[in-house]
Amino acid sequence: MKLLFGLLGALLMILFLGSIIIKVKEVALIGVVAVGLVLMLVDLWQARNEKDT
């Protein structure tokens, strides 16, 4: 269940930040968002085998 909520949260974050990137189009902002998305996906990848609490 945690993985499902994690994927839903990741999708919502990608959609939200994607809309900001489309409007602003600054290289520095794109870099910061890309790093944030990579960190989010790494955390989701590491949490996939953790026990649900």
Name the average pLDDT for the chain: 92
Average pLDDT over residues 27-52: 92
3-25 pLDDT, tens digit per residue, is 899 999 999 999 999 999 999 99
DSSP state of 49: T
* Interacting residues of 2 by C-beta distance below 8 A, sequence separation 6+: 47, 50, 52, 53
Residues whose CB is less than 8 angstroms from the CB of residue 29 and which lie 6 or more positions away in sequence, other chains included? 20, 21
Q: Is the pLDDT of residue 30 over 90?
A: yes
pTM here is 0.80
Say if residue 50's pLDDT is above 70. Answer: yes
Res. 51: pLDDT tops 90: no
Contacts of 33 by beta carbon, 8 Å cutoff, 6+ apart: 17, 20, 21
Greatest Cα-to-Cα distance within the chain, rounded to the nearest angstrom? 40
What is the band of 53 on the pLDDT scale with cuts at 50, 70, 90? low
